[in-house]
Amino acid sequence: MFEVKCSYCGHEEAGTFCPTFPDMPMAKPAMVEISLNNALPTAGNLLGLSKLHKRFNGLKPLDLKTIFLAGHTISLGDLNAEDIEQVKRKAEALGFSVMIKE
């Protein structure tokens, strides 16, 4: 925890910080793929998916449907742990399965 006060204007701030250490291991990203399993790609779930991740920016639901029908999975590439949790939660709420390959 830290506290600072400006000697000129008297403004005060307080906060916390988490130092990193030179030998601290970094979390490795993991490969993430989204699958429909046996569900049908509907307009609703594809529209939700198109807003889920930057990988889908500019893709319309019809584009995503074509990708799913061709290969049944879409790879998001390597994501960090925070992004994986967010994508997993949102994708599963839309009816998709998320596969994580470390």
Q: Which two tokens stand for residue 40?
A: 């049908």
Q: What are the tens digits of pLDDT across the range 3-20? A: 888 888 888 888 877 777
User: What is the pLDDT averaged over residues 31-56?
Assistant: 83
pLDDT at position 16: 78
Q: Which two tokens stand for residue 52?
A: 């889920």
Q: What are the tens digits of pLDDT across the range 62-89? A: 888 888 788 778 888 898 887 888 889 9
Average pLDDT over the chain reads: 83
pLDDT at position 31: 93
Q: What is the DSSP code string of 11-57? A: -EEEE------TTPPPPPPEEEEEE-TTS---HHHHHHHHTT-GGGT
Instruction: Give the predicted TM-score (pTM) of the model.
Output: 0.64
Structural domains of the chain ordered from first start? 27-101 (3.30.1390)
pLDDT at position 57: 78
Judge contact between 59 and 76, C-beta under 8 A: no
